[in-house]
Amino acid sequence: MSLKSNMLLVLCVGTLFSLGGCEDVFDGGLNDDGGFVEKAGTSQCVQVNEGSTANLSCPSGQVIASIDFASYGTPTGSCPNFSSSSCHASSSKSKVEAACLSKQSCTVGANNGVFGDPCAGTYKKLAVAYSCQSPSVAQCAEGNEGSTAALSCPSGQVIKSIAFASYGTPTGSCPNFSNSSCHASSSKSKVEAACLNKQSCTVGANNGVFGDPCVGTYKKLVVAYSCSGGDTDQCPNDPNKTSPGICGCGTPDTDSDGDGTANCKDNCPTDPSKTQPGVCGCGKAEGTCDSTCVDNTNFIDAQGYHGGLWLHRGPRDPNRIEL
């Protein structure tokens, strides 16, 4: 008999401004795949056994606007407050985003063929938290080299996504632009940093901002973006957020190591393979250290002592009392 636990696929669905948490009252049933479907207030969660296909879907007239969390492995927590564990496929979020963003519905296989196997011999699950919203009409802004591109949204709305940005010699027309061979690779990230979650912003179309992707060629900055939010702001005192997201108002949902777990829920924020120190500590794979020498704090002082015990990692101090 296998000692492995069941592999499950867990999905959490909510409106764009309801990711602060799921309600405590649940209503559920079985779906066609034999998985369990739950309703938690305005959110929904789906659990599908390994080998099945998960169906993400939004209400009629809405699309999947963001993937707020994704982890294929052994994530912990409950919808929508999941956290990844030391068993986590680093491609989880990008794979789900590629399959689902801007669609009314999508399917994702919960298997190693899609994500790879982050911990061989262990049954895993895929946990995804995502948001639905009405599709936005794309807007565009352009600025010739030496000028600025001005992005703005109607009153009560903010810039929620940058669909396209290129400083160079992009081609096409709004919103169907394309990059050319002259393209600054930092274009999108620079515009996102300057504009996301703001009602308006300006970005300089110049080499000082983006670098010079083609010396001697006259360039321009082209941006396609979308606005949303209506008049709802759940974080009125946080200029960078209109909804609590994963970490709450006042705390950015930054994921420094790109492992699918925000820093506020990641006890190893710079280690993409861990969210908890475990036995060996952050930055060191489990099973590669002496478990008698390192604990969860991963703290050893400059002389090689840990909790009064000399660990042979520095000059021994004859004046110290050892345990």
Q: What are 213-237's pLDDT values in tens digits? A: 999 999 999 999 988 764 455 676 7
Q: What is the pLDDT of residue 23?
A: 32
> Of 128, 71, 67, 140, which is closest to residue 102 (Cα–Cα)?
67
CA dihedral of 194, 93, 282, 245, whole degrees rounded to 10: 60
CATH code for 8-133?
A: 2.60.120.740
Instruction: Evaluate if residue 208 carries a pLDDT over 80.
Output: yes
The chain-wide mean pLDDT, for the chain, equals: 76
In the numeric block, which tokens belong to residue 273?
Answer: 């393979």
Q: How far is CA 233 from CA 161, 197, 220, in A?
A: 17, 11, 34
Is pLDDT above 90 for 151? yes
- From the list 92, 94, 175, the residue with the least C-alpha distance to 138 is 175
Higher pLDDT, 203 or 321: 203
Could you tell me which residues come within 8 angstroms of residue 113 by beta carbon, excluding any fewer than 6 positions away? none
What does the alpha-carbon distance between residue 83 and residue 253 come to, in Å, rounded to a whole number?
A: 13
Report the distance separating Cα 317 and Cα 323, nearest Å.
13
Q: Indicate the range of 34-43, 55-64, 76-85, 117-126 predicted with least confidence.
A: 34-43
Just give the CATH number of 139-228: 2.60.120.740
Alpha-carbon Rg for the chain in angstroms: 24
Does residue 212 carry a pLDDT above 90?
yes
State the pLDDT at residue 197. Answer: 85
3-class DSSP string for 139-155: EEEEEECCCEEEEECCC
* 254 pLDDT higher than 80: yes
Q: 3-state secondary structure string, the chain?
A: CCCCCCCEEEEEEEECCCCCCCCCCEEEEECCCCCEEEEECCEEEEEEECCCEEEEECCCCCEEEEEEEEEEECCEEECCEEECCCCECCCHHHHHHHHHCCCCEEEEECCHHHHCCCCCCCCCEEEEEEEEECCCCCEEEEEECCCEEEEECCCCCEEEEEEEEEEECCEEECCEEECCCCECCCHHHHHHHHHCCCCEEEEECCHHHHCCCCCCCCCEEEEEEEEECCCCCCCCCCCCCCCCCCCCCCCCCCCCCCCCCCHHHCCCCCCCCCCCCCCCCCCCCCCCCCCCCCCCCCCCCCCCEECCEECCCCCCCCCCCCC
pLDDT at 164 over 90: yes
d(CA 156, CA 230): 5
* Residues of the chain above pLDDT 70, percent: 71
Closest CA to 83 of 170, 161, 10, 1: 10
Cis peptide before 154 (omega within 30 of 0): no
pLDDT confidence band for 141 (50 / 70 / 90): very high
- For the beta carbon of residue 37, count every other beta carbon within 10 angstroms: 18
pLDDT higher at 229 or 151: 151
Q: Which regions of the chain carry the CATH code 2.60.120.740?
A: 8-133, 139-228
pLDDT at 2 exceeding the cut of 50: no
Predicted structure pTM score = 0.43
pLDDT, tens only, 85-128: 999 989 888 888 888 887 888 888 989 989 899 999 999 888 88
